[in-house]
Amino acid sequence: MSADLIHLVQHLGQPDVLVVGDVMLDRYVFGDAERISQEAPVVLLRADRREERLGGASSVATMLRALGARTALAGVVGADADAARIRRLLGELEIDHEGVLVDPHRPSTVKERYIGRAQARHPQQMLRVDFEVRDPLEASLEERMKQVLDVRIRRADVVLISDYDKGVCTPRVLQHVIGLARTLGKRVLVDPIRCKPGQGESAFAKYRGCSSMTPNRLEAGLAVGRTLATIDDSLSAADELRRRLDMEAGIVTLDKDGMALAHLDGRRKHFPTRPRQVYDITGAGDMVLCVLGMALAAGADYDAAIRLANVAGGLEVEKLGVAPVSRDEILRDLRHALLNDRENRPHGKIMDRNLLVQEIEALRCSGRRIGFTNGCFDLLHAGHVQYLQDAKAQVDVLVVGLNSDAGVRALKGPDRPINPQNARAEVLAALACVDFVTLFDEPTPLELIRLIRPDVLIKGADYRKEEVVGADFVESYGGKVYLAPLKAGFSTTALAERLAESQQRRVA
């Protein structure tokens, strides 16, 4: 459910995250694609704007900063002007880049994209030009990298490896990172390079011992040597990779189909994702890696981390190019999903108080006015219905606290309730005016009221305000108490007595 993810986002904190990988600069040239050139049969782009963003592993670091993490980056740049721009951008974002080393024998990696607008709108990528060298680091630079990483791994809560196959993530460097992190009890998550057809057992071997990795369906299929046509195929591949690489969890990303997880504890689960308007898939894998790392560092398990990463990856594909997604954006999306979900699941209205409080918190943040009432609601009658409809008219969201069977017996005697608590809860949940139902065992609903903090506390007009449990508490923070009029002639006790009398007459 969205409520637990909202709680997770609100408690992500500021973990220390180390990113190791290929540092890049993404350059975008925007313009209007006006016509075909007279010189050659190509589109003529009239450029009007140039933009530079951090790419590759440095894009992962950028996304982490937007999500609130304290971030350190380790990688390699050249001794050139592009390296200076990369360092300037990293400095502006307060990303620790002391671990970004200089290799004078290679240029800084730059990906230059040309974005054309048709009829001055609908921008689309037309061409990408890469400036790069893919040679592995020289041995001396590998040793320097390992020394730099030793200090930063000890400081980190989690390590992310972003491998674009530009030479930084050599087997020696990665095994040093993974070995030290594992010794220190810290997770290492990997976004791997695309393996080549026919690699088989050697695919991803340099990542052996990492906590988890996130290959996509094609990459995972190439690694296990078969096409992943179904969800079960992907779950099987995730489990095979987990065992082969000695990982805690095998994950396969499935684009619009979400993710597949195979865990060391035997879990094999598919996590679907909501349909999205896909605008640009660039950066989606980076975003998934970031959110997985953040969530796991915050203490979430893999199930919650993957569900949250699904949401963040979905938001990323709705953006043009590699663009950070903030916590506020994720929260807005989750709250929107929560409202839609609540409206489409009547029996999902019944929930325990811990989950209820999370949902209420999300609804209150979206501006909804919360109301609370309580009762036994043993034999639901017209008086109850009118009362609940009137209660809902005072608020946007109505929560009903329902006395448990034990609570009803304590109040009404050993012959009550007539209907058990689960049946009473289902009948209440079927009413359109009731948004949530939660059971309580206590003699009064005061503890529940303190947890929910309703804007309006509702009770029947047969009570005086000073008799209403929780009234003083609700009014202490500016809430109000509403006494709803009762429909004359209706009483559960009277109805139960008439039923008993009718039964006795039939027996006689």
CB distance 374 to 401 below 8 Å: yes
**The one catalytic residue among 22, 157, 163, 286:** 286
Distance in angstroms (rounded) separating the CA atoms of residues 426 and 424: 6
Q: CA nearest 376: which of 449, 444, 472, 453?
A: 444
> Token digits for 377?
């609601």
Backbone angles phi, psi at 93, to 5 degrees: -90, 0
Q: Which residues, in sequence order, are bridge partners of residue 36? A: 43
**Number of helical H runs and strand E runs in the chain:** 17, 18
Residue 136: how many CB atoms within 10 A of its CB? Answer: 16
Q: CA nearest 437: which of 491, 380, 487?
A: 380
DSSP state of 467: G
To the query of whether residue 257 is one of the catalytic residues in this protein, the response is no
Per-residue buried b or exposed e for 90-129, using 16+ beta carbons within 10 Å of the residue's own CB: beebebbbebbbebeebebbbbbbbbbbeeeeebeeeeee
Q: CA nearest 214: which of 159, 285, 302, 164?
A: 285
Q: Which residues, in sequence order, are bridge partners of residue 300? A: none
Q: CA nearest 54: which of 17, 80, 92?
A: 92
CB distance 169 to 202 below 8 Å: no
49 membership: H or E segment, kind and range: strand 43-56
In three-state secondary structure terms, 375 is strand
Residue whose pair of structure tokens reads 């070995």 in the numeric block: 179
Residue 485: how many CB atoms within 10 A of its CB? Answer: 11
The amino acid that residue 287 corresponds to is: M
Q: CA nearest 214: which of 99, 299, 305?
A: 305
> Token digits for 332?
């807005």
Which positions ≥6 away from 502 have C-beta within 8 Å? Answer: none
Between the two ends of the chain, the Cα-to-Cα distance in Å is: 54
- Whether residue 420 has a cis bond before it, omega within 30° of 0: no
Positions annotated as catalytic residues are 286
